[in-house]
A and B are shown apart, each in its own frame.
Chain A
């Protein structure tokens, strides 16, 4: 293998970063169609579908950046190992990223930075997660015994190490959908935020219904024909319920926030379940796209992360994007009114609604966001118009790349415009990005 020839080292202007194409597997409910597929399998499928559609088999790309949230220790080099299984030139470098549910968009931001700086001309960003194939760890006590056994050099020392075994150690540790610092599940955190903002059950169910209807309509008109490649016999997202109704959603029992004073509003219908899937997006310079005769869908303009203190100050776990977005808009001289497409990740319907409520709240925007007044109102007709995570499902690390590709195509389809992407993440973090075409 020969190392790529470095471009001449000169002072360069920042280059625009084009979103050229996207591809994902249909998403499946955990334990469903992809029960036997690993995160690596899913990532390979997403990348291979993208490579096939763009005709890049055998090409060496600048870099592939991806990640998984639920990750086996053996997958420490997940993305590189996946690249070796794809149709790309095996001499394509890769690295892993993890930022919880923000992973899939953060990979794109990192890759875009390299492209903008002239370090890479084209690459693939994305993510994969399999909640079905989640890593299971041994009990902490057993782990210490095994490590001691490994260190022991004499039969006596080995016996001594084994003497540390206890019956209770056979119970393995399963990954939990709980915050490390609070022990509360994400749903419980979201329920507290929903109660704080007074988000109604009806509003949440309406948002969930719109998500399913928008996604179904997008499939029907062929919108996803060049964004989704079937995998293991699944052609559309397994969670999509095109025929769901307000009545069906209203029947569901609340599952989160049942111990709160406010009425519990969050159900299985307006929350995302654990999901398996992968997504990938091709980013490049305009020149690279032109050389490969590939159309540019849109440009990734800028991005911003933020974090809140959900541990000590009681801020909403999933409200970091509320803080990231105003900073990002201001830096680029955009307002909410300039936007043609708004994508707010539907971790829970209540998360989206609480985010929108915060931006409309004058007091909150003045005191917490340091603005002169409310950030503004998001036109609901521009929100998640091709469906979002409530209907597609949410394989954690895949969601960012799914949304970026969908957003870019929505802009290209309408012949131009401006878009905002907002994604909340575990650990009180969030990421937002601006896209323009």
Chain B
């Protein structure tokens, strides 16, 4: 397959302060210097240095974590001195059993020196419990009926810790919290690997929940089939590329008017093109029929097609409202329903991934219609999670932040520059960053992640 075309951002500021006299001036003036992110390349090392596995308290998962990291290619060490002079490629702390405020103090003591020693492009990952499950039913100081209030508070505290550390890292290091539900077992392995890998370069400062994976219905197919709506350009095209790189046949769907670019994308990824207006009355039947007859069902459905019609709320007419809600929210609802209703349209273990937006999580001035639709998609995946889990399927959302696309390139200069720098990684992400997250959620290993929202925003300030 041809090399993926990387959309290089036109980021003159980043180029100026990264080298030469500009770098010296930026240092003296205390200007932000956006780090170069370490992204996935074929054949690269899993990590840039050894992986340190820390234990906060009982740490029931630490041994498995060490084994899994080693299997992924990491040199795993149990304490900082074993790393020698090397800077750490990853620090993983098992804090799932932390239940007392004192445990957090112990956590600080072991994590702080390791955090200082993290390499550029390093990964800090805190494993926590699901706060609602923390401490079990045994109860604590509050007595009967209260559960273990302190354990829940401690586990929720990890969220603030991780978000703060995300804002303090340098050199493109990311910090995330993986909340491990009871009985997750092997389902933890793939999220652990993903969040430590170069594929998660723009994912930072957020919690993600992993639970037990539903039992696989049947053995996976030799070549999985994925459908991506809005695949002709931008993030959709990048998603098609990464899914194809990971071995899927990608059905690239887009409107008839985008047919020329769509054909180019479909041929480049050795997939196929499908003309589909997601808002058409017959779109669910057309898509379901196509997937059933041509492929014996889809393993992955990515609801990526989306539009904007920005205007202040009072000036938003019915057209701008209905268009955005129709494409961004009503169409994914109807297509999902149609695919679930049609026997054979979905393969066993199918995954849905919706493209939300941090503007849907935080709201955005002039985007009431867009934000409503994108928040609605979060509700969609949350509502689907349980019923889909019963069928061995899953639905999740990815919420991109500021991503360098032709759309953001056409923004006015000042808001564009503000948008770029207003994240912990001080830069815009690339379409491939979003695509990596989508492809991971679509992968067999991510079976324990369901009903979640994964932000790909470099910990953007507005991203919740």
Contact = CB atoms under 8 A, between A and B. Distances in A.
State the main secondary structure of chain B at its contact with A: helix
Interface in B226-277: 249, 252, 256-260, 262-264, 266-275
B293 A48 contact: no
B266 A52 contact: yes
B272 A231 contact: no
Contacts of A49: 259-260, 263, 273
Interface residues on B, range: 20 to 34
Contact of B260 (A51, A222, A229): A229
B263 A53 contact: yes
Contact of B271 (A57, A228, A231, A232): A57
Nearest to A293: B294
A230 B272 contact: no
Contacts of A226: 275
Nearest to A87: B267
A48 B263 contact: yes
B295 interface: yes
Contact of A229 (B263, B269, B272, B274): B263
Contacts of A87: 267-268, 270
A226 B273 CA distance: 10
A229 B267 contact: no
A231 to B, nearest CB: 6
Nearest to B272: A55
Interface residues of A, number: 24
A53 B294 CA distance: 11
A48 B294 contact: no
A230 B271 contact: no
A87 B271 CA distance: 11
A55 B256 contact: no
B267 A53 contact: no
A55 B249 contact: yes
Interface string B410-437: 0000000000000000000000000000
State the main secondary structure of chain A at its contact with B: loop
Given A52-B273, A225-B275, A57 B260 contact: no
Interface string A48-72: 1101111101100000000000000
B272 A235 contact: no
A92 to B, nearest CB: 14
A338 interface: no
A58 B275 contact: no
Nearest to A54: B272
Contact of A230 (B259, B268, B270): B259
* Residue from the set B249, B252, B259 with the largest chain A CB neighbour count within 10 Å: B259
Contacts of B275: 53, 225-226
A174 interface: no
Contact of A52 (B256, B262, B293, B296): B262
Interface of A: 45, 48-49, 51-55, 57-58, 87, 222, 225-226, 228-233, 235, 293-295
14 contacts: A48-B263, A51-B267, A52-B264, A52-B266, A52-B273, A53-B274, A55-B270, A57-B269, A57-B270, A87-B268, A222-B256, A233-B260, A235-B256, A293-B294
6 residue pairs, one from A and one from B, having the closest CB atoms? A55-B272, A87-B267, A52-B263, A52-B273, A52-B266, A57-B267
Interface of B: 249, 252, 256-260, 262-264, 266-275, 293-296
Given A49-B273, A51-B267, A57-B268, 18 more contacts: A49-B263, A52-B252, A52-B266, A52-B272, A53-B273, A55-B249, A55-B270, A57-B267, A57-B269, A57-B271, A225-B256, A226-B275, A228-B259, A230-B257, A231-B260, A232-B260, A235-B256, A293-B295
